[in-house]
Structure 1
Amino acid sequence: MNMSHYFKGAVFGALFSISTALHAAAVDRLSELLTRHQSFGAEFEQYTLSEEGGRQEHSSGEFVLARPDRFDWLTHTPFEQRIVSDGEYIWIYDPDLEQVTRKPASGQTESAPALILNGKIDALSERFDIRQIEQGNDREVFELLPLTAQRSFERIRLLFKDEVLSELLLEDSLGQRTSILLNAIELDADPDPERFEFTPPEGVDLILDPGV
Protein backbone atom coordinates (compact mmCIF):
# COMPACT_ATOMS: atom_id res chain seq x y z
CA MET A 1 0.00 0.00 0.00
CA ASN A 2 1.28 3.45 -0.86
CA MET A 3 1.41 5.09 2.57
CA SER A 4 1.49 8.63 1.16
CA HIS A 5 -1.80 8.02 -0.67
CA TYR A 6 -3.24 6.44 2.47
CA PHE A 7 -2.13 9.41 4.56
CA LYS A 8 -3.58 11.92 2.10
CA GLY A 9 -6.85 10.00 1.99
CA ALA A 10 -7.05 9.88 5.77
CA VAL A 11 -6.39 13.60 6.06
CA PHE A 12 -8.99 14.38 3.40
CA GLY A 13 -11.51 12.16 5.14
CA ALA A 14 -10.87 13.83 8.49
CA LEU A 15 -11.17 17.32 7.00
CA PHE A 16 -14.38 16.35 5.21
CA SER A 17 -15.84 15.01 8.46
CA ILE A 18 -14.92 18.21 10.29
CA SER A 19 -16.42 20.35 7.50
CA THR A 20 -19.63 18.30 7.54
CA ALA A 21 -19.91 18.61 11.31
CA LEU A 22 -19.34 22.37 11.20
CA HIS A 23 -21.97 22.73 8.47
CA ALA A 24 -24.51 20.73 10.46
CA ALA A 25 -23.80 22.78 13.59
CA ALA A 26 -24.21 26.04 11.64
CA VAL A 27 -27.52 24.87 10.14
CA ASP A 28 -28.83 23.84 13.56
CA ARG A 29 -27.80 27.13 15.15
CA LEU A 30 -29.25 29.25 12.34
CA SER A 31 -32.48 27.24 12.50
CA GLU A 32 -32.68 27.87 16.23
CA LEU A 33 -32.27 31.61 15.76
CA LEU A 34 -34.68 31.98 12.84
CA THR A 35 -37.55 29.80 14.05
CA ARG A 36 -37.90 30.70 17.71
CA HIS A 37 -40.39 33.53 17.02
CA GLN A 38 -43.77 33.23 15.30
CA SER A 39 -43.93 36.89 14.31
CA PHE A 40 -41.24 39.43 13.56
CA GLY A 41 -41.54 43.14 12.94
CA ALA A 42 -38.98 45.90 12.37
CA GLU A 43 -38.13 49.19 10.75
CA PHE A 44 -35.59 48.84 7.96
CA GLU A 45 -32.96 50.91 6.17
CA GLN A 46 -31.79 49.47 2.85
CA TYR A 47 -28.67 50.59 0.99
CA THR A 48 -26.76 49.56 -2.08
CA LEU A 49 -23.02 49.61 -1.40
CA SER A 50 -20.17 50.82 -3.58
CA GLU A 51 -17.03 48.73 -4.13
CA GLU A 52 -15.42 50.69 -1.30
CA GLY A 53 -18.35 49.94 1.01
CA GLY A 54 -19.92 53.41 0.84
CA ARG A 55 -23.70 53.73 1.03
CA GLN A 56 -25.49 54.74 -2.16
CA GLU A 57 -29.15 54.21 -3.08
CA HIS A 58 -31.34 54.27 0.00
CA SER A 59 -34.83 53.17 0.94
CA SER A 60 -36.58 52.84 4.28
CA GLY A 61 -39.79 51.53 5.76
CA GLU A 62 -41.20 48.90 8.08
CA PHE A 63 -42.54 45.37 7.95
CA VAL A 64 -44.35 42.73 9.96
CA LEU A 65 -44.41 39.03 9.17
CA ALA A 66 -46.30 36.13 10.71
CA ARG A 67 -45.00 32.70 9.84
CA PRO A 68 -45.26 30.84 7.64
CA ASP A 69 -46.15 33.10 4.67
CA ARG A 70 -47.98 36.23 5.77
CA PHE A 71 -46.30 39.62 5.70
CA ASP A 72 -46.94 43.34 5.30
CA TRP A 73 -43.94 45.24 3.88
CA LEU A 74 -44.30 49.02 3.62
CA THR A 75 -41.65 51.18 1.94
CA HIS A 76 -41.83 54.89 2.86
CA THR A 77 -38.89 56.34 0.90
CA PRO A 78 -37.93 57.13 -1.79
CA PHE A 79 -41.36 56.03 -3.08
CA GLU A 80 -44.25 54.62 -1.11
CA GLN A 81 -45.09 51.00 -1.84
CA ARG A 82 -46.94 48.32 0.09
CA ILE A 83 -46.51 44.56 -0.42
CA VAL A 84 -48.91 42.26 1.41
CA SER A 85 -49.12 38.47 1.48
CA ASP A 86 -52.22 36.76 2.86
CA GLY A 87 -50.72 33.32 2.20
CA GLU A 88 -52.70 32.84 -1.01
CA TYR A 89 -51.86 36.01 -2.95
CA ILE A 90 -49.23 38.72 -2.88
CA TRP A 91 -50.55 42.24 -3.44
CA ILE A 92 -48.22 45.02 -4.60
CA TYR A 93 -49.70 48.50 -4.23
CA ASP A 94 -48.03 51.55 -5.79
CA PRO A 95 -50.02 54.64 -4.70
CA ASP A 96 -48.14 57.02 -7.04
CA LEU A 97 -49.07 54.84 -10.03
CA GLU A 98 -52.57 54.16 -8.70
CA GLN A 99 -51.89 50.51 -9.47
CA VAL A 100 -52.21 47.17 -7.68
CA THR A 101 -50.63 43.93 -8.91
CA ARG A 102 -51.87 40.59 -7.58
CA LYS A 103 -49.90 37.37 -8.03
CA PRO A 104 -50.11 33.88 -6.48
CA ALA A 105 -48.08 33.54 -3.30
CA SER A 106 -46.85 30.08 -4.20
CA GLY A 107 -43.35 30.30 -5.60
CA GLN A 108 -43.09 34.03 -4.83
CA THR A 109 -41.98 33.51 -1.22
CA GLU A 110 -39.11 31.23 -2.18
CA SER A 111 -36.47 33.91 -2.70
CA ALA A 112 -33.54 33.73 -0.31
CA PRO A 113 -34.53 36.82 1.77
CA ALA A 114 -38.10 35.49 2.11
CA LEU A 115 -36.82 32.06 3.15
CA ILE A 116 -34.57 33.69 5.74
CA LEU A 117 -37.25 35.92 7.25
CA ASN A 118 -39.74 33.03 7.28
CA GLY A 119 -37.22 30.72 8.92
CA LYS A 120 -37.39 28.03 6.21
CA ILE A 121 -34.09 26.44 7.10
CA ASP A 122 -34.66 23.20 5.15
CA ALA A 123 -35.10 25.08 1.88
CA LEU A 124 -32.11 27.30 2.67
CA SER A 125 -29.82 24.34 3.41
CA GLU A 126 -30.83 22.72 0.11
CA ARG A 127 -29.66 25.83 -1.79
CA PHE A 128 -26.78 27.17 0.27
CA ASP A 129 -23.68 26.04 2.09
CA ILE A 130 -24.34 27.57 5.52
CA ARG A 131 -21.36 28.50 7.69
CA GLN A 132 -21.04 30.32 10.98
CA ILE A 133 -18.06 32.62 10.56
CA GLU A 134 -18.23 34.62 13.79
CA GLN A 135 -19.48 33.96 17.30
CA GLY A 136 -18.94 35.82 20.53
CA ASN A 137 -19.65 39.02 22.47
CA ASP A 138 -23.40 38.73 21.78
CA ARG A 139 -22.67 38.77 18.04
CA GLU A 140 -23.03 35.94 15.52
CA VAL A 141 -22.44 36.03 11.76
CA PHE A 142 -23.50 33.41 9.21
CA GLU A 143 -22.43 33.17 5.58
CA LEU A 144 -24.56 31.48 2.91
CA LEU A 145 -22.89 30.44 -0.36
CA PRO A 146 -24.90 28.96 -3.27
CA LEU A 147 -24.53 25.25 -3.96
CA THR A 148 -25.32 25.48 -7.69
CA ALA A 149 -24.54 27.80 -10.59
CA GLN A 150 -28.24 28.69 -10.94
CA ARG A 151 -28.29 31.43 -8.34
CA SER A 152 -29.53 34.95 -7.73
CA PHE A 153 -27.02 35.62 -4.96
CA GLU A 154 -23.30 34.93 -4.81
CA ARG A 155 -23.11 35.49 -1.06
CA ILE A 156 -25.42 36.30 1.84
CA ARG A 157 -24.31 37.28 5.31
CA LEU A 158 -26.60 37.44 8.33
CA LEU A 159 -25.68 39.36 11.46
CA PHE A 160 -27.37 38.56 14.76
CA LYS A 161 -27.01 40.73 17.84
CA ASP A 162 -28.20 39.27 21.14
CA GLU A 163 -29.62 36.35 19.10
CA VAL A 164 -31.85 38.63 17.00
CA LEU A 165 -31.37 39.23 13.27
CA SER A 166 -30.17 42.81 12.80
CA GLU A 167 -28.58 42.99 9.32
CA LEU A 168 -28.64 41.16 5.99
CA LEU A 169 -25.86 41.70 3.46
CA LEU A 170 -26.70 40.42 -0.03
CA GLU A 171 -24.32 40.18 -2.98
CA ASP A 172 -26.03 39.34 -6.28
CA SER A 173 -24.66 37.58 -9.35
CA LEU A 174 -23.71 40.96 -10.90
CA GLY A 175 -21.61 41.94 -7.90
CA GLN A 176 -24.05 44.48 -6.49
CA ARG A 177 -24.15 44.48 -2.70
CA THR A 178 -27.19 45.46 -0.66
CA SER A 179 -27.32 46.01 3.09
CA ILE A 180 -30.61 45.81 5.02
CA LEU A 181 -30.40 47.14 8.58
CA LEU A 182 -33.20 46.26 11.03
CA ASN A 183 -34.18 48.50 13.94
CA ALA A 184 -37.03 48.86 16.46
CA ILE A 185 -37.50 45.09 16.33
CA GLU A 186 -40.66 43.53 17.80
CA LEU A 187 -40.81 39.79 18.45
CA ASP A 188 -43.98 37.72 18.92
CA ALA A 189 -46.14 40.84 18.98
CA ASP A 190 -49.19 38.84 17.83
CA PRO A 191 -50.12 41.13 14.90
CA ASP A 192 -53.77 41.56 13.92
CA PRO A 193 -54.61 38.99 11.18
CA GLU A 194 -56.49 41.73 9.29
CA ARG A 195 -53.15 43.43 8.67
CA PHE A 196 -52.36 40.69 6.16
CA GLU A 197 -55.60 41.18 4.22
CA PHE A 198 -55.67 43.63 1.33
CA THR A 199 -58.52 45.20 -0.62
CA PRO A 200 -57.55 47.37 -3.62
CA PRO A 201 -58.62 51.00 -3.15
CA GLU A 202 -61.35 52.28 -5.44
CA GLY A 203 -60.18 53.75 -8.72
CA VAL A 204 -56.84 51.95 -8.98
CA ASP A 205 -55.84 49.70 -11.85
CA LEU A 206 -55.75 46.02 -10.89
CA ILE A 207 -53.24 43.82 -12.74
CA LEU A 208 -53.63 40.05 -12.33
CA ASP A 209 -50.24 38.42 -12.69
CA PRO A 210 -50.54 34.61 -13.15
CA GLY A 211 -47.05 34.24 -11.71
CA VAL A 212 -46.00 31.69 -14.33
Structure 2
Amino acid sequence: MLKKVSLLSALATVMFVPTFANEAFLVNYFNDLATIQADFEQTVIQQKNKEISSGELKIRKKTAKNSIAGFYFDYTMPFEQKLISDGKKLWHYDVDLEQVVIKNLANFEQDSPMFMIFNNQSLNTQFEIKTLKNESKYRLTPKKKGDISSIEIEFNKGNISKVSAKQTNGSLDLKLSNVKMNANINNSVFTLKVPKGVDVIDETK
Protein backbone atom coordinates (compact mmCIF):
# COMPACT_ATOMS: atom_id res chain seq x y z
CA MET A 1 0.00 0.00 0.00
CA LEU A 2 1.52 3.29 -1.06
CA LYS A 3 1.50 6.09 1.45
CA LYS A 4 0.16 9.43 0.33
CA VAL A 5 3.15 11.19 1.78
CA SER A 6 4.71 10.23 -1.55
CA LEU A 7 2.38 12.80 -3.05
CA LEU A 8 4.32 15.41 -1.22
CA SER A 9 7.42 14.39 -3.03
CA ALA A 10 3.90 19.30 -4.28
CA LEU A 11 5.34 25.88 -3.89
CA ALA A 12 6.78 30.79 -6.61
CA THR A 13 9.95 35.35 -4.05
CA VAL A 14 8.31 37.35 -6.74
CA MET A 15 11.12 38.95 -8.68
CA PHE A 16 11.30 40.28 -12.22
CA VAL A 17 12.53 37.68 -14.65
CA PRO A 18 11.83 38.12 -18.38
CA THR A 19 9.38 35.56 -19.77
CA PHE A 20 8.42 34.65 -23.28
CA ALA A 21 4.86 35.56 -24.23
CA ASN A 22 3.70 31.94 -24.30
CA GLU A 23 5.06 31.40 -20.77
CA ALA A 24 3.46 34.54 -19.35
CA PHE A 25 0.05 32.89 -18.94
CA LEU A 26 1.51 30.15 -16.73
CA VAL A 27 3.73 32.44 -14.66
CA ASN A 28 0.99 35.04 -14.16
CA TYR A 29 -1.57 32.38 -13.25
CA PHE A 30 0.52 31.20 -10.31
CA ASN A 31 1.66 34.68 -9.30
CA ASP A 32 -2.00 35.73 -9.07
CA LEU A 33 -3.03 32.56 -7.24
CA ALA A 34 -3.52 32.93 -3.47
CA THR A 35 -5.72 29.91 -2.72
CA ILE A 36 -7.12 26.96 -4.60
CA GLN A 37 -9.82 24.42 -3.75
CA ALA A 38 -10.68 21.40 -5.86
CA ASP A 39 -11.75 17.79 -6.00
CA PHE A 40 -8.96 15.50 -7.13
CA GLU A 41 -8.18 12.06 -8.49
CA GLN A 42 -4.62 10.96 -7.84
CA THR A 43 -2.64 8.20 -9.48
CA VAL A 44 0.71 7.26 -7.95
CA ILE A 45 3.00 4.73 -9.62
CA GLN A 46 6.05 3.39 -7.78
CA GLN A 47 7.96 0.54 -9.38
CA LYS A 48 5.19 -1.95 -10.28
CA ASN A 49 2.68 -0.60 -7.79
CA LYS A 50 -0.17 1.63 -8.90
CA GLU A 51 -2.67 3.29 -6.59
CA ILE A 52 -5.62 5.49 -7.48
CA SER A 53 -7.24 7.65 -4.83
CA SER A 54 -9.55 10.63 -4.66
CA GLY A 55 -10.72 13.37 -2.37
CA GLU A 56 -10.68 17.13 -1.81
CA LEU A 57 -7.78 19.56 -1.52
CA LYS A 58 -7.31 23.11 -0.28
CA ILE A 59 -4.06 25.03 -0.71
CA ARG A 60 -3.10 28.52 0.40
CA LYS A 61 0.11 30.28 -0.55
CA LYS A 62 1.90 32.70 1.74
CA THR A 63 1.19 36.20 0.48
CA ALA A 64 1.06 39.75 1.87
CA LYS A 65 -2.58 39.05 2.76
CA ASN A 66 -2.13 35.48 3.99
CA SER A 67 0.68 35.17 6.52
CA ILE A 68 0.01 31.44 6.98
CA ALA A 69 0.59 29.09 4.07
CA GLY A 70 -0.89 25.64 4.20
CA PHE A 71 -2.47 22.70 2.50
CA TYR A 72 -5.21 20.20 3.20
CA PHE A 73 -5.65 16.89 1.38
CA ASP A 74 -8.69 14.91 2.46
CA TYR A 75 -8.56 11.42 0.94
CA THR A 76 -11.88 9.60 0.90
CA MET A 77 -11.15 6.75 -1.53
CA PRO A 78 -9.95 3.99 -1.37
CA PHE A 79 -9.48 4.63 2.34
CA GLU A 80 -9.73 7.69 4.59
CA GLN A 81 -6.72 9.75 5.50
CA LYS A 82 -5.75 13.39 5.75
CA LEU A 83 -2.55 15.28 4.99
CA ILE A 84 -2.57 18.70 6.60
CA SER A 85 0.10 21.37 7.00
CA ASP A 86 0.34 24.86 8.43
CA GLY A 87 3.53 25.57 6.51
CA LYS A 88 5.74 24.25 9.30
CA LYS A 89 4.37 20.92 10.45
CA LEU A 90 2.81 18.06 8.50
CA TRP A 91 0.07 15.94 10.03
CA HIS A 92 -0.62 12.56 8.42
CA TYR A 93 -3.84 11.18 9.88
CA ASP A 94 -4.67 7.61 8.90
CA VAL A 95 -8.30 7.23 9.90
CA ASP A 96 -8.39 3.43 9.56
CA LEU A 97 -5.27 2.95 11.67
CA GLU A 98 -6.39 5.62 14.15
CA GLN A 99 -2.91 7.10 13.99
CA VAL A 100 -1.44 10.56 13.46
CA VAL A 101 2.19 11.07 12.46
CA ILE A 102 3.58 14.60 12.82
CA LYS A 103 6.63 15.57 10.77
CA ASN A 104 8.61 18.69 9.92
CA LEU A 105 7.33 19.95 6.59
CA ALA A 106 10.78 21.12 5.46
CA ASN A 107 11.80 17.48 5.03
CA PHE A 108 9.36 17.13 2.11
CA GLU A 109 9.30 20.47 0.30
CA GLN A 110 12.16 19.92 -2.15
CA ASP A 111 10.78 16.58 -3.34
CA SER A 112 7.12 17.59 -3.60
CA PRO A 113 5.69 18.73 -6.94
CA MET A 114 2.77 20.42 -5.22
CA PHE A 115 5.03 22.41 -2.90
CA MET A 116 7.29 23.34 -5.78
CA ILE A 117 4.52 24.95 -7.81
CA PHE A 118 2.24 26.27 -5.05
CA ASN A 119 4.62 28.55 -3.17
CA ASN A 120 5.53 32.23 -3.09
CA GLN A 121 8.22 32.11 -5.77
CA SER A 122 7.62 32.76 -9.46
CA LEU A 123 7.78 29.58 -11.48
CA ASN A 124 10.47 30.91 -13.79
CA THR A 125 12.86 31.34 -10.85
CA GLN A 126 12.60 27.62 -10.08
CA PHE A 127 12.08 25.99 -13.47
CA GLU A 128 12.99 25.99 -17.10
CA ILE A 129 9.58 26.32 -18.78
CA LYS A 130 8.61 24.76 -22.09
CA THR A 131 5.25 25.49 -23.69
CA LEU A 132 3.73 22.29 -25.08
CA LYS A 133 0.45 23.99 -25.98
CA ASN A 134 -0.04 27.68 -25.36
CA GLU A 135 -2.27 28.38 -22.33
CA SER A 136 -3.08 24.67 -22.15
CA LYS A 137 0.00 22.57 -21.35
CA TYR A 138 3.48 23.31 -20.01
CA ARG A 139 6.52 21.29 -18.94
CA LEU A 140 8.62 22.50 -16.02
CA THR A 141 12.16 21.25 -15.48
CA PRO A 142 13.60 22.09 -12.03
CA LYS A 143 16.76 24.20 -12.09
CA LYS A 144 17.93 22.36 -8.98
CA LYS A 145 18.45 18.64 -9.30
CA GLY A 146 16.36 16.50 -6.98
CA ASP A 147 13.87 13.66 -6.87
CA ILE A 148 11.63 15.35 -9.46
CA SER A 149 12.88 15.41 -13.05
CA SER A 150 9.90 17.25 -14.60
CA ILE A 151 6.39 18.52 -13.93
CA GLU A 152 3.66 19.01 -16.51
CA ILE A 153 0.74 21.34 -15.84
CA GLU A 154 -2.43 21.35 -17.90
CA PHE A 155 -5.25 23.88 -18.07
CA ASN A 156 -8.88 23.65 -19.15
CA LYS A 157 -10.82 26.82 -19.91
CA GLY A 158 -8.23 28.93 -18.13
CA ASN A 159 -8.07 26.89 -14.94
CA ILE A 160 -5.54 24.32 -13.81
CA SER A 161 -6.86 20.81 -14.47
CA LYS A 162 -3.92 18.42 -14.09
CA VAL A 163 -0.47 18.19 -12.51
CA SER A 164 1.86 15.34 -13.52
CA ALA A 165 5.33 14.71 -12.15
CA LYS A 166 8.09 12.30 -13.07
CA GLN A 167 10.12 11.27 -10.07
CA THR A 168 13.14 9.08 -9.44
CA ASN A 169 11.03 6.23 -8.12
CA GLY A 170 7.86 6.66 -10.18
CA SER A 171 5.25 9.20 -11.21
CA LEU A 172 2.30 11.21 -9.94
CA ASP A 173 -0.82 12.35 -11.80
CA LEU A 174 -3.27 14.67 -10.07
CA LYS A 175 -6.47 15.50 -11.97
CA LEU A 176 -8.44 18.46 -10.62
CA SER A 177 -12.12 19.30 -11.01
CA ASN A 178 -14.54 21.86 -9.53
CA VAL A 179 -11.61 24.24 -9.15
CA LYS A 180 -12.15 27.43 -7.15
CA MET A 181 -9.47 30.13 -7.05
CA ASN A 182 -8.73 32.72 -4.40
CA ALA A 183 -11.59 31.92 -2.04
CA ASN A 184 -11.11 32.67 1.66
CA ILE A 185 -9.96 29.65 3.67
CA ASN A 186 -10.03 29.70 7.45
CA ASN A 187 -6.71 29.18 9.27
CA SER A 188 -8.17 26.25 11.21
CA VAL A 189 -8.29 24.17 8.01
CA PHE A 190 -4.49 23.93 8.04
CA THR A 191 -4.04 22.42 11.48
CA LEU A 192 -5.24 19.07 12.76
CA LYS A 193 -7.12 18.76 16.01
CA VAL A 194 -6.22 15.20 16.92
CA PRO A 195 -9.32 13.15 17.75
CA LYS A 196 -9.54 11.48 21.15
CA GLY A 197 -8.23 7.94 21.28
CA VAL A 198 -5.93 8.36 18.28
CA ASP A 199 -2.27 7.38 18.63
CA VAL A 200 0.19 10.21 17.98
CA ILE A 201 3.75 9.81 16.74
CA ASP A 202 5.46 13.20 16.90
CA GLU A 203 8.71 13.20 14.93
CA THR A 204 9.24 16.95 15.33
CA LYS A 205 10.56 16.73 18.89
TM-score in terms of structure 1 length: 0.73
Residue 119 and residue 27 in structure 1: after superposition, are their counterparts in 2 closer, same or farther (change >3 A)?
A: farther
Mapped contact 2:102–2:200 kept (Cα < 8 A): yes
Shift of the alpha carbon at 1:64?
Answer: 0.7
Shift of the alpha carbon at 1:154?
Answer: 2.4
Mapping of residues 194-205 of structure 1, within 5 Å: 194-205=188-199
Tell me the residue number matched to 2:118: 117
Mapped contact 1:27–1:121 kept (Cα < 8 A): no
TM-superposition CA deviations, 1:24-47 (whole Å, max 9, x none): 326644221112121100000112
Tell me the residue number matched to 1:36: 32
Distance 2:82 2:200 in 1: 14
Tell me the residue number matched to 1:159: 154
Larger fraction in helix: 1
Mapped contact 1:83–1:90 kept (Cα < 8 A): yes
Q: CA RMSD in A?
A: 2.5
**1:144 matched to 2:143:** no
Distance 1:134 1:63 in 2: 26
Query: Which one of the candidate residues 41, 44, 67 is aligned to 1:45?
Result: 41
Shift of the alpha carbon at 1:119?
Answer: 5.4
Mapped contact 2:113–2:165 kept (Cα < 8 A): no
Mapped contact 2:128–2:142 kept (Cα < 8 A): yes
Unaligned runs of 5+ in 1: 1-22, 50-55
Shift of the alpha carbon at 1:153?
Answer: 2.1
Distance 1:142 1:48 in 2: 20
SS in 2 for 1:46: strand
Distance 1:84 1:162 in 2: 29
SS in 2 for 1:96: coil
Unaligned runs of 5+ in 2: 1-17, 63-68
TM-score in terms of structure 2 length: 0.75
Percent of residue pairs identical: 26
